[in-house]
Amino acid sequence: MTEVSTGQQAVDELLELLDLRTLTGNTFEGVSPKIGLQRVFGGQVAGQALVAAGRTVDPERHVHSLHGYFVRPGDPTVPIRYEVENIRDGRSFSVRRSVALQHDKPIFFMSASFHVQEEGLDHQGRTPVDVPLPEEVPTMHERLAKYPERLGIWELIPRPIDVRYVNEPGWVRPGDRPSEPHQRVWMRFDGKLPDEPLLHACALTYASDLTLLDSVLSTHGAVWGPGGFQGASLDHAVWFHRPFRADEWFLYDCWSPSASGGRGLASGRMFTLDGRQVASVVQEGLLRPVGY
Active-site residue, 104 included: no
Burial of 181 (0-12, 13-18, 19+ CB in 10 A): exposed
For residue 214, which of 278, 149, 259 has the smallest C-alpha distance?
Answer: 259
Active-site residue, 233 included: yes
Residue 207, phi then psi, degrees to nearest 5? -70, -30
Which residue among the candidates 162, 209, 214, 253 is catalytic per the annotation? 209
Active-site residue, 218 included: no
For residue 236, which of 55, 112, 133, 53 has the smallest C-alpha distance?
Answer: 112
Residue 151, phi then psi, degrees to nearest 5? -65, -45
Which residue among the candidates 233, 256, 277, 280 is catalytic per the annotation? 233
Which residue among the candidates 32, 48, 94, 283 is catalytic per the annotation? 283
d(CA 57, CA 59): 6
DSSP 125: P
User: Which residues are catalytic, by number?
Assistant: 209, 233, 283
